[in-house]
Amino acid sequence: MSLNSCEQMIFDYVQAHPDERHYWVEKVQKTSRQATDDYEAARLLEDPLWRYFEERSAVASPFKEAARQQGVRRTSMRNLAEYLLRLWGTPRPRKKSDGRPAE
């Protein structure tokens, strides 16, 4: 999966800061449990990830530097949302072609 530069910055930052990682692991897992499918879960995570990027751009390196150089323009966080769901989301049972859950 390919992340854009904003998504990669968030992922690297979260991985390097245990408190932030803990928050996002819980957020991803909660969203995954509440959503009807992974598509909905990714859609629900995309906006909070963008708001997080905006908030960090005002207070934390390397976000501040990127915002100063490139500005803060809305960009997709969909790939990051999908990636975090794969890493930390609640696994869903796979369905067989006849509609029954796989064993």
Where do the domains of the chain lie? 5-88
pLDDT confidence bin for 80, thresholds 50/70/90: very high
Sequence-distant (6+) residues with CB within 8 A of 100 are none
Could you report the per-residue pLDDT of 23-47, keeping only the tens digit for each? Answer: 999 999 999 999 999 999 999 999 9
Against a cut of 0.85, is the pTM above it?
A: no
Compute how many other C-beta atoms are within 10 angstroms of the C-beta atom of residue 10. 22
Burial of 44 (0-12, 13-18, 19+ CB in 10 A): middle
pLDDT at residue 100, as a whole number: 63
Mean of pLDDT values over 65-69 = 84
pLDDT at residue 56, as a whole number: 92
d(CA 91, CA 38): 10
* pLDDT tops 80 at residue 71: no
pLDDT at residue 99, as a whole number: 61
pLDDT at residue 44, as a whole number: 97
